[in-house]
Amino acid sequence: MDAKDQVLKAMKEAGKPVRPGDVAKMTGLDKDEVSKAIKLLKNEGKVISPKRCYYAPSE
């Protein structure tokens, strides 16, 4: 499972919009790694940002 999968899974499990720092804590990944994964997921349309600095799965 790569960082993107882990980030998306953590977001779905959280069940609410989360900050990259929260995702980093949940996954044990580095915060920079999480931010990179979120950016990629956002470009793919798998993640949305309901409010500034918070992210959630799009489906």
18-51 pLDDT tens trace: 999 999 999 999 999 999 999 999 999 999 999 9
Would you state the pLDDT for residue 6?
Answer: 97
Q: Which domains does the chain have, with CATH numbers?
A: 3-57 (1.10.10.10)
Would you state the pLDDT for residue 25?
Answer: 97
On the CB side of 16, CA atoms within 13 Å amount to 1
Rounded Cα distance, 45 and 31, in Å: 21
- Alpha helices for the chain (secondary structure H): 3-14, 20-27, 31-43
Would you state the pLDDT for residue 57?
Answer: 97
Is 44 in contact with 38 (CB distance < 8 Å)? no
Q: Is the pLDDT assigned to residue 1 strictly greater than 90?
A: no
Is 21 in contact with 28 (CB distance < 8 Å)? no
